[in-house]
A and B are shown apart, each in its own frame.
Chain A
Amino acid sequence: MAHAQGQQHPIGIYLKIWGLLFVLSTASYLVDYFHFQGYLRWFLIIVFMLLKAGLIVAVFMHMIWERLALVYAILVPPLLLIVLLGIGALEADYTFFTRGAFFGAPAHTPAQHVPAQHR
């Protein structure tokens, strides 16, 4: 490990990761281009997103070469956000239900991707 002179790695690894990020971005764009819908769409979007994020953090930001004390200090706290995510989802479901009940909109149809003028 070349820590005394900072992070020094061969240029090839950056170029390879750059190429991989291009491939993954193209793949996630194609998910939209070919109109994948439903769970397949969400699954693919999340997989490509996590792969890209992982590559950027691990190689471009040199996380795989850092000491574990720093890695844990930075990567563990964001896991708390899962709690906020859960609270947000619960709250949103309740608000959606209440709006449906009080404003009379059809509460059983989330109606995504339907242009407004066709309703």
Chain B
Amino acid sequence: MTQPVSMSSAETLPLPEGLQGVVADWSSDQRAFKDVPWGKAMMWIFLLSDTFIFSCFLISYMTVRMSTTEPWPNPSEVFALTLWGKNIPLILIAIMTFVLISSSGTMAMAVKFGYEKNRKMTFVLLLITAALGATFVGMQAFEWTKLIEEGVRPWGNPMGAAQFGASFFMITGFHGTHVSIGVIFLIIVAIKVLRGDLDHERPGFLTGRKGNYEIVETMGLYWHFVDLVWVFIFAFFYLW
């Protein structure tokens, strides 16, 4: 990359809005996604493919749950915890939901401070996001340990339908993997921000592309997607 890629200098004409804009963008004989860095468009397309993967898991879960003649274990009871002498249904999952939503909030603010080139705030917010993500994974590990001790296995469990374990480990395991990768990714971006790589346009380790604050937003898209998937898992697996 010898020539700096400029975002707006090539587009001197005003772009049409609305449906006309869709047609004009796609038929322009140029890149279709105007006004976004290509890294961001590619992250969106990756997330689209990830949407299909998680949808396949959730739809297969629906299929096995609808087709089993055994009663499905009641998630409200399976995921209950005894706190302060009281049995509270689903409390661990509720706390995990709030932790993940909070991490999404701090991530959104990190993107904002990144574009303002406020290095310190961006770094701190990215680190808080990573810490909340790690907390989430820790709680999930606790949940897995608890269920495995209670005899839940991918091929059966003492509470009811055998398919419960397979669905549970597959769906939450894949989601937890996404969160873990996100935490690593967040720490890497946080270090880049702190070192000033993005301000000084230092080339990346793998790509050689010049650093800029757009990568914080691209990272943010991935992180919000992880939260988005959890919204669906929470509704369909834990509440249904």
Output the nearest chain B residue to A2 by Cβ-Cβ distance.
Answer: B115
- State whether A70 and B159 are in contact (beta carbons under 8 Å apart), knowing that A25-B98, A113-B72, A114-B71 are contacts in the complex: no
**Across the interface, which residues of A come within 8 angstroms of B59, CB to CB?**
81, 84-85, 88
Give Cα distance in the complex from A17 to B227, angstroms: 14
Question: Which residues of B (163-219) have their CB < 8 Å from a CB of A?
Answer: 213-214, 217
Which of B36, B62, B70, B71 contacts A70, CB < 8 Å? B36
Contact B239 A92 (CB under 8 A): no
Establish whether residues B51 and A69, one from each chain, have CB atoms under 8 Å apart when the complex forms: no
**Which A residues are in CB contact (< 8 Å) with B225?**
61
**A40, CB-defined interface residue at 8 Å:** no
Closest residue of chain A to B109 (Cβ to Cβ) is A14
Interface residue tally of chain B, by bracket?
35 or more
What are the residues of chain B within 8 A of A32 when measuring CB–CB? 76, 89-90, 238-239
Is there contact, CB below 8 Å, between B55 and A69? no
Q: Does B134 have its Cβ within 8 Å of any Cβ on chain A?
A: no
Question: Of the candidates B33, B64, B69, which one forms a contact with A69 in the assembled complex, judged by CB atoms under 8 Å apart?
Answer: B33
Alpha-carbon gap, A67 to B22, bound state (A): 8
For the complex, what is the distance from the CA of A96 to the CA of B231, rounded to whole Å?
28
Interface: A107 (CB within 8 A): yes
A96 to B112, CA, bound (A): 51
- Most B CB contacts (10 A, CB to CB) among A32, A41, A107 go to A32
Contacts of A92 in B (CB 8 A): 62-67
* A70-102 vs B, Cβ < 8 Å mask (1 yes, 0 no): 101110011001001100110111011001100
Kindly state whether residue B26 has any CB partner on chain A within 8 Å.
Answer: yes
**B104 close to chain A: CB less than 8 A:** yes
On chain A, the residues within 8 Å of B109 by CB distance are: 11, 14
- Answer whether residue A49 sits at the interface, using C-beta atoms and an 8 A cutoff: yes
Contact present for A103 and B69 (CB under 8 Å): yes
**CB-contact partner of A25 in B52, B60, B67, B97, under 8 A:** B97
Contacts of B213 in A (CB 8 A): 6
Chain A contacts of B45 at CB under 8 A? 73-74
Q: How far is B76's CA from A46's CA once the two chains are assembled, in angstroms?
A: 17
Pairwise interchain contact A56-B239, C-beta atoms closer than 8 A: no
A55 to B53, CA, bound (A): 22
A68 touches B19 (CB 8 A): yes
Partner pick for B74 among A3, A49, A81, A115, CB 8 A cutoff: A115
Residues on B with beta carbons closer than 8 Å to the beta carbon of A99: 67-69
Cα-based distance from A114 to B72 in the complex (angstroms): 8
B residues contacting A by CB (< 8 A) are: 7-8, 15, 17-19, 21-22, 25-26, 32-37, 41, 44-45, 47-48, 51-52, 55-56, 59-60, 62-74, 76-77, 89-90, 94, 97-98, 101-102, 104-105, 107-109, 111-112, 115-116, 158-160, 213-214, 217, 220-221, 224-225, 227-228, 231-232, 234-236, 238-240
